[in-house]
Amino acid sequence: MKPPTPHRRSQVGKAPCPPRPAASDTARSGFPPRQRPRLIEIIRNPSRRIEEARKNGWLGEVQGLQVSLTKAKEQLVALDRSLERTCSAGQSRPTDLRYAGDHKAAVMLLSGLSAVIFYGGSRMTAGAHVSGLLLGLFCTHVVLRRLPPVSRRQPRWWEMHPDLGSLWTAAGVVSGLQVTGFALRINREIEVSGKGDITWLPPADILNLLSIAVTMLGVFIAPVLDIGSATVPVKAFGLSVLLLAGYPFALAGHYDMFNPRTHRSWTYCPRQERIALSVIGVSAVVYIALAILR
């Protein structure tokens, strides 16, 4: 029988070292499999992290995690300070990251409406038109729900500068509805030409096309090509909405609907339509003058 092996001088008065785990146990995560739940508990409880690390020999690993957590905490503090400065400046505080991709909604909306409008060509059914209108209303509802919350201090109307993504979303919805309405007018003129009558493009429809052109040039193309100041898309969108607001009145004047005691004149530009277009033109000139002065 062999005599007991004497302890080394370095091990006198010390507890024997626990056996090291096999290499296969620590190959994947760096910790023994039985200690992984304990490690998760240590990470969740920062007050016991260093103490447990010293006992189990995980000081290097936990220190690395602590450095990562410290960096993340510093980034959160910096972000919170920037948000506080934004709120103190009177702007709304973003609470969701969904606003970053709002411009994609406008592109998807225009693509969907174009597919609905041109489905079937000139023989488009009424159901397809209704589907396009319902799609536009649904997207409008979605856009209104995605708007950021309003801050305590309400900014003045001349201080409001919405971000380009939200502006593109709203412009895409409005343009989609305009294209849908213009497609209805084209289908009606096609039906008239099938009966042997002449076809024309009334001034009311030209007003609608002018509104679409202002939206595409001022809201979409100008910021992409970096033309003008940062307020050009906002002002162009306001002018487009103003022209669109006058379109129903001009169209009603084209059919002589404002005076129920008179019959339709069947002229290219009736008197009622000219009056409506004059009011819209004066309003547009006043708006452009105010936009330039502001």
Average pLDDT value over all residues in the chain: 69
Structure confidence at residue 216 (pLDDT)? 93
The residue ranking higher by pLDDT, 263 or 94, is 263
The two three-digit tokens of residue 154, written as one number: 């309400």
| Other C-beta atoms lying within 10 Å of the C-beta of residue 114 | 15
89: closest CA among 149, 150, 155? Answer: 155
Residue 181: the pLDDT is 87
Going by pLDDT thresholds of 50, 70 and 90, the confidence category of residue 75 is low
266 vs 244: which has the higher pLDDT: 244
User: Dihedral of CA 157/158/160/165: which sign?
Assistant: positive
